[in-house]
Amino acid sequence: MLCHVGAGGSGVVATELGLKVAQAGHEVHFVGPAMPFRLSGHQGVRGPFYHQVSGFAYALFDQPYPELAAANTLTEVILEQGVSLTHAHYAIPHATAAIHARAITGRSRVITTLHGTDVTLVGAEPAFRHTTRHAIERSDHVTAVSHFLARQTREVFDVDREIEVIHNFVDSGRFTRVTDPAVRARFAHPDEALIVHVSNFRPIKRVEDVVQVFARVASEIPARLLMVGDGPERPRAVELAGQLGVTGRTHFLGSFPDVQTVLGISDLFLLPSSQESFGLAALEAMSCEVPVVASGAGGIPEVVEDGVTGFLVPVGDVDAMADAALRILRDRDLYLAMGAAARRAALTRFHPDQIVPRYLAAYARTVAGQVV
């Protein structure tokens, strides 16, 4: 497994998938500059195993080369461990590193999973367009986390190859409703609605919209907002909360490790993103019986069913989002029905038992050379 090691969606999915594949009896090795954060504490004598990509300093190199470093470490792992398949999560640098290692070793087929920004942001950058397209075309098999992303990939890169859609999954055993009132009391009073947003606070997440929506909601009903995560837009969101007079009711928790507990005590999840290839954080909230109010962007409609598990509104329409939030929070029957439907969706459409076997089948076909 090659993946980003932070708290972003692609790293979470890759790590959780690796753990499930190991539990199914396969030998799994993670290769990266640091241990994926969700892998910590899950290693044992049967794996999963972790191999660190070492840095390299040389006077003629004025910048690091993560692809070459990863390819070198991956090559060593393939040769030493007899790896038959490399699963790269993200086209650049992971798929390119895997393809490079395959060329060096003459073994280990490559599956590439596209998660979104590797296509929508990195891949669309002219400087990386040809490299990203090469990674997609030269992978032995390609998957995408949504039908939206598969379509967009074909359009952006003008590629004509199979892209298998395998949605993300959620551990519904860990992401579940927290019923202990003492836990919820740490963040809100019993009569307050608890609204939550989880992201990496990049511009496409539109975290200022979250604060504006919350200010409108809080002017109508008692409420508190939990902002989980960190990133470049956090200072602007903090400043806006002050300008709108909701600083005392808005809590910026940073990269909070126990996100499942925060989601498990919340009443509503806000996701106003201008672009989402899937919306993993929304799915994790749904697994905790939390209705979602989100923009109808990208792959979100494949996760959130409008009017059933939440409401979808146009990107940037904070008034519509606030109205949708208030409609849910003021109608107890609607809130409970949406929460129950959200949990059912997590248990049926996005449960590991539904998704992991599809990856295992793709692995088997790829190793056997039955997919290209």
pLDDT digits (tens, 9 = 90+) for 230-250: 999 999 999 999 999 999 999
Q: Is 130 found in the same domain as 88?
A: yes
pLDDT at 62 (0 to 100): 52
Predicted confidence at residue 120, as pLDDT, reads: 64
Which residues does 15 contact at the CB level (< 8 Å), separation at least 6?
1, 3, 30, 36, 37, 38, 39
The single residue listed with the structure tokens 């989100």 is 294
372: in domain: no
> Is 17 in the same domain as 150?
yes
Q: Are residues 214 and 322 in the same domain?
A: yes
Q: How close are the terminal C-alpha atoms of the chain, in Å?
A: 19
Residue 245 CA to chain centroid, in angstroms? 31
Q: Is 38 inside any structural domain?
A: yes
221 secondary structure, DSSP code: S
What's the pTM value of the predicted model, to 2 decimals?
0.91
User: CA angle 216-218-223, nearest 5°?
Assistant: 145
Average pLDDT, the chain: 91
* Span 269-311, pLDDT tens digits: 999 999 999 999 999 999 999 999 999 999 999 999 999 999 9
In this prediction, the residues of the chain whose per-residue pLDDT falls under 50 are: 60-61
Consecutive H or E run containing 298: none
- Whether residue 337 sits in one domain with residue 188: yes
Is 43 within the bounds of a domain? Answer: yes
Does residue 274 form part of some domain?
yes
Question: How much is the pLDDT for 215?
Answer: 98
Residue 95 counted as domain residue: yes
User: For residue 116, how far is the Cα from the chain centroid?
Assistant: 9
pLDDT of residue 10: 79
- The reply to whether 295 and 244 lie within a common domain is yes
DSSP letter (8 states) at residue 150: H
Residues 165 and 247 in one domain: no
Domain holding 37, by residue range, is: 9-169+352-367
What pLDDT was estimated at residue 60? 47
User: What does the radius of gyration of the chain's CA atoms come to, in whole angstroms?
Assistant: 21
Does 204 share its domain with 338?
Answer: yes
C-alpha angle with apex 43: 39 to 47, nearest 5 degrees?
Answer: 110
In single-letter form, the type of residue at position 111 comes to I
**% of the chain at pLDDT higher than 70:** 91
Is 2 part of any domain?
no
* Separation CA 213–CA 190 (nearest Å): 21
Query: Quick one: pLDDT at residue 371?
Result: 61
Distance CA 351, CA 221 (A): 35
CATH of the domain at 255: 3.40.50.2000
Structural domains in the chain (count): 2
Query: Is 298 contained in some domain?
Result: yes
301 and 344 within one domain: yes
Residues 131 and 188 grouped into a single domain:
no
- Are residue 40 and residue 155 in the same domain, yes or no? yes
The answer to whether residues 198 and 341 belong to one domain is yes
- 310 located within any domain: yes
Q: Which of 108, 107, 109, 67 is nearest to 90 (CA)?
A: 67
Q: State phi, psi for 300 to the nearest 5 degrees.
A: -60, -40
User: Are 118 and 19 in a shared domain?
Assistant: yes
Q: Is the dihedral of CA 336, 337, 338, 342 positive or negative?
A: positive
DSSP 56-124: ---TT-SS--HHHHHHHHHHHHHHHHT--EEEEESIIIIIHHHHHHHHHHS--EEEEEE-SHIIIIITT
CA 248, distance to chain mean position in Å, is: 29
Q: State how far the Cα of 92 lies from the Cα of 148, in Å rounded to an integer.
A: 20
pLDDT computed for residue 69 by the predictor: 85
